[in-house]
Amino acid sequence: MVKIDSVTGEEREMSDFALSYLLKMGLSAEKDSLGNIIAKNNGKGDPLFFSAHLDTVSPGKGIIPVIEKNTIKSKGNTILGGDNKAPLSAILEALFSTKTKRKIEIAFTVSEESENIGALKLDYSKIESKKGFCFDCGEKIGTIILKSPFYDSFIIDIKGKSSHAAFPEKGINAIKYSSDFIKKIKIGKINNSTVLNIGKIKGGSSVNTVPEKILMEGEIRSFSKKNIENTEKQLNAISLDNKKIKKNVKIKRENAGYIFKKNNRDVQSICKIMSKIKIDPLYKSSWACSDANIFNEKGIKVLNLGDGVENIHTTSEKIKIKNLILLTKLIKKIIKDF
């Protein structure tokens, strides 16, 4: 599967492969116009949900996988694509090799690496499950992500007035007032649960022109809905020392956050399953978002578990074969005992 190019936005061949594989296993499976796949077996009872995403980051074209010292990695000039094809392969193998009467539902999504577009546009009317698992965490197998943040993006538009640089008194320099704006906000870790970052600034047209407009783009992440909303209010409330300057702040909720407590019934259940196959549970919080954020927001209580992939999103990405086998074993045990 890692030989099939599937960088975000170009997952068609990977989607076709996964769909064909599921159909050959006898599952009922369909693909939507984006390339998302929803599949089901003929089981009974309360369904259990599994998910993985089909896309990879770049450089992810022409991947040549190699095996060295019982570890799968790329040749070194690309990623491996273990994020998320290691869990994808483990889910397929677990389904193929496990006989179960339990109803299983699968969602393989596209464009997870780009704003979770696939999961956001999935047809949830076709999914019955109320709980399940995804494995989109480049951590040790046994890792349970208890917290993932609310995530908002923002664009701040500072508009002044252009003029020739020789006559600055006729213009209003948007760069100057953008700098003043930045000085009035706290960038980085605001508190233990909230971070704010400005990652892009663009504007200006030439060195001999007073710049009229500056756009600043950034994000806020917080484990607390109250904290992220307070931070948004602070952005909107900042005033600049020139009434002729126009400031516009646009904020977009990209992902809702979620929190599972250690004593949550599903968390305790997965811990017991892990202990049966000698996996030590490890609780973690993650500043990253995944499809699990979307699924939880849509009412499917999905736990995101470690997949054993190392150095994700880099040309050093790798996974030990024993971890790929262990991940498959864990999914099989979840199917039987959860």
User: HEC string of the chain?
Assistant: CCCCCCECCCCHHHHHHHHHHHHHCCCEEEECCCCCEEEECCCEEEEEEEEEECCECCCCCCCCEEEECCEEEECCCCCCCHHHHHHHHHHHHHHHHCCCCEEEEEEEECCCCCCCHHHHCCCHHHCCCCEEEEEEECCCCCEEEEEECEEEEEEEEEECECEECCCHHHCECHHHHHHHHHHCCCCEEEECCEEEEEEEEEECCCCCEECCEEEEEEEEEECCHHHHHHHHHHHHHCCCCCCCCEEEEEEEEEECCEECCCCCHHHHHHHHHHHHCCCCCEEEECCCCCHHHHHHHCCCEEEEEECCCECCCCCCCEEEHHHHHHHHHHHHHHHHHC
pLDDT for res 152: 96
pLDDT for res 30: 97
Instruction: Report the range of poorest mean pLDDT among 10-19, 86-95, 236-245.
Output: 236-245
Could you read off the pLDDT of 105-133 as tens digits, one per residue? 999 999 999 989 999 999 999 999 999 99
pLDDT for res 43: 94
pLDDT band, residue 85 (cuts 50/70/90): very high
pLDDT band, residue 241 (cuts 50/70/90): confident
% of the chain at pLDDT higher than 70: 100
pLDDT for res 14: 98
Does the pLDDT at position 264 exceed 90? yes
Could you read off the pLDDT of 195-237 as tens digits, one per residue? 999 999 999 999 999 999 999 999 999 999 999 999 999 999 9
pLDDT for res 115: 86
pLDDT for res 109: 98
Question: What mean pLDDT value characterizes the chain?
Answer: 96
pLDDT band, residue 337 (cuts 50/70/90): very high
pLDDT for res 300: 98
Could you read off the pLDDT of 279-318 as tens digits, one per residue? 999 999 999 999 999 999 999 999 999 999 999 999 999 9
pLDDT for res 222: 98
What is the arithmetic mean of pLDDT over 40-69?
A: 96
Instruction: Report the range of poorest mean pLDDT among 88-92, 96-100, 210-214.
Output: 96-100
pLDDT for res 70: 97
Could you read off the pLDDT of 159-187 as tens digits, one per residue? 999 999 999 999 999 999 999 999 999 99
Domains and CATH numbers, the chain: 12-148+258-337 (3.40.630.10), 150-255 (3.30.70.360)
Q: What is the pTM of this model?
A: 0.91
